[in-house]
Structure 1
């Protein structure tokens, strides 16, 4: 789609169909790829860390939950949930498998 129509030209299909109101043609592909990478990254965590992070950030659940709501659901204190979340985030930051994910996040 980004290849020129003819050799030596600079215009391409993106230029023709570009619209501020319509989503990018590759938006679904990027979203699906990002979802896959997020799921792969979360799978590197313990089950409890994964569940806490999914619920706190609203990943694959209806809506994000507070630390207190997560604690109530899992029978943990708010502080313990915060500690689990922080440990999971530290692991995600330092896991070499997450280098691909970092390219999406900038």
Structure 2
């Protein structure tokens, strides 16, 4: 873990020096910035450049491997999944209080329920009305969504 912190600092110093001076930092500059012996700096540079297996043991016991400490960003956290599910339920329930037309306009306009965000013109073509009429429908729907009876439901979106 300490070496990872050192490599992160090393990378930051490397980027900063490259951006500010237009060149790579020298080992002496890295030694000065990191406040560590030159041999440790060179070791950190070597480790940073060499690929490392995810099966590399971490610590004295062979029970932990590098892969155990790397987060998988593709897997959503359970609390995020639950929160998103709850918000989608609230949104569907709230939009369900609008007329069918208002609901579909809002869904298309804001890219809800698998729709991509659409312009007033695009939605107008779908409904065979002018973009001005779609703007009016959208405005009325938003006004209805702001009504005090619906506001507590939608407040959950501000808290996330």
| TM category, shorter | 0.7 to 0.9
Aligned to 1:94: 147
Higher relative contact order (CA 8 A, sep 6+): 1
Which TM-score applies when normalising by structure 2?
Answer: 0.50
User: Aligned ranges for residues 23-34 of structure 1 at < 5 Å?
Assistant: 23-34=76-87
User: Aligned ranges for residues 56-95 of structure 1 at < 5 Å?
Assistant: 56-95=109-148
Which TM-score applies when normalising by structure 1?
Answer: 0.74
Q: Please give the alpha-carbon distance, in whole angstroms, between the structure 2 residues aligned to 1:63 and 1:103.
A: 23
The runs of 5 or more residues in structure 1 that have no matched partner are: 1-16
- The Cα RMSD (Å) is 2.0
**CA separation of 1:49/1:62 partners in 2, compared to 1, >3 Å: closer, same or farther?**
closer
Q: Please give the alpha-carbon distance, in whole angstroms, between the structure 1 residues aligned to 2:112 and 2:146.
A: 17
| Rg (Cα) greater in structure | 2
Deviation at residue 25 of structure 1 after TM alignment: 3.4
Aligned to 1:45: 98
Deviation at residue 96 of structure 1 after TM alignment: 1.1
Deviation at residue 103 of structure 1 after TM alignment: 2.5
The runs of 5 or more residues in structure 2 that have no matched partner are: 1-68
